Amino acid sequence: MPNQVQNPNAKIKKVLCAISGGVDSAVAAALLIKRGYEVTGGFIKCFTDPITGPACWLNEKRDAMRVCAKLGIKLMIFDFEKEYRKAVVDYIYREYKAGRTPNPDVMCNKYVKFPLLIREAKKLGFDYIATGHYARLGREILNPKSEIRNKSKIPNTKYKIRLLAAVDENKDQTYFLHQLKQKELQQVLFPIGDYTKPQVRELAKKFNLPVAQKEESMGICFIGEVPLRQFLSKKIKPRKGKIVLSNGTVVGEHTGLPFYTIGQRIGVSFPPPICRPRECGDPVEGRLQRESSDWIPNRVGNDNDTKPFYVVAKDKKKNQIIVANENSPLLYKKEIIVQKVNWIAGQPPELPLTCFVRLRHRQPLQRCRIRNNEPAYRTGRLGIRVDFVKPQRAVAPGQFAVFYLPCRSSGGAKEGKNNECLGGGEIK
């Protein structure tokens, strides 16, 4: 990690390393110790709910304590429950109620984990914080005449931090980090960004860490094993409505708009009246049959294939969900508007720009062209328009669009790879 290794002649740097109780953060702490940093563990208590109980955090705390005991370092507990509830939990309720698709991990990183941990680290005299995210950092000197790349040799030279994708493309987490700003990235270390997940597992065994064999957590951690619908029902009163085709044909009944998202495979609660083509004049998409837990259309027209329905839109005013078959053009978008854009460099790139975009974590990068959203700029609101080279499936409002460019060789990144994260924003 050439961009994160200490100057051997400098004083030992103090790092507050976020320890979640998982294998990634444990290995991150172990690597920092091996590289000569003075490391202290930091565990974040985020959320307790009457439905979920202490959720994951209580068990994770025990594992974090075991990790720190093995590494011989102190563990500090930070109670960010109040801030987390406001920034993440309330946000989830608000977005789902509005018919949008939220991403709690992005909001947690933006409003809780990084800014609050950095705040506490400064108070306690730490030089950096560190996390177990799969990401890398690169430094770019803001002096074109200088050929010196080592910031430690020119302490008064300004530079900016570039957020680079991890070596492990399958685990890369820059999508969740795209809302971070320069002032935060200046104080962050990502020790495992140069390793693949299998390599991290091997390092955990090498360091004899107690969580070496621990499985990865899935889903929304603070909910635990409680179904999302049950969790949302606590504050969102479900209101039943119709499931319709784009032409208005009713094909079923939904249990509440917040419980569905764009692109979701959907079943319907009852079959509509069977209409014979000779009587109606045209083949209908309405004849349904029960198969497993889903209602699926049975042979549309001359098509012998049975195909499920997918959500293509939600009409909040009419309280309706619009559905179509998988290959329907209604399920695809050629362009979108992205608002509340955060540019990691601190300012937007020169637009228009041909680059890559990711609409979901682990989605393969998609070619696109971004430009100013002219109506928004004329009215003083920020926003950009994204034109896809290839139409994108199941684009949901509330999701995040994150932009990337091929790396320019800094920070050990490989030439020609699409691995510099420029930033991103919410899909309108």
Residues involved in catalysis: 108, 221
Report residue 172 as tokens. Answer: 């890369």
Interaxial angle between packed helices 23-34 and 57-71, expressed in degrees from 0 to 180 and rounded to the nearest 10: 20
Report residue 164 as tokens. Answer: 């680079």
**Residue in the structure block whose two tokens are 């900016």:** 160
Q: How far is CA 40 from CA 16, 17, 266, 421, in A?
A: 5, 6, 47, 29
Classify strands 294-297 and 353-358 as parallel, antiparallel or unpaired: unpaired
The count of other CB atoms within 10 Å of the CB of residue 404 is: 27
How far, in whole angstroms, is CA 14 from its chain's centroid?
Answer: 29
Residue (of 52, 53, 51, 55) closest to 21 by Cα position: 55
Q: 256: left (phi > 0), else alpha (psi -120 to 50), else beta?
A: left
Report residue 169 as tokens. Answer: 């493309």
Distance of alpha carbon 148 from alpha carbon 212, whole angstroms: 40
Residue 362 DSSP symbol:
T
Residue (of 19, 131, 133) closest to 75 by Cα position: 19
Distance of alpha carbon 95 from alpha carbon 240, whole angstroms: 18
Distance of alpha carbon 323 from alpha carbon 205, whole angstroms: 49
Distance of alpha carbon 130 from alpha carbon 121, whole angstroms: 10
Distance of alpha carbon 3 from alpha carbon 344, whole angstroms: 18
Residue 116 host element (H or E): helix 114-123
Distance of alpha carbon 245 from alpha carbon 247, whole angstroms: 5
Helix, coil or strand: residue 42? strand
Q: Residues with Cβ < 8 Å from 264, sequence gap 6 or more?
A: 310, 311
Distance of alpha carbon 336 from alpha carbon 31, whole angstroms: 41
E strands within 276-365?
A: 288-291, 294-297, 309-315, 320-325, 332-343, 353-358
Residue (of 26, 36, 29, 27) closest to 5 by Cα position: 36
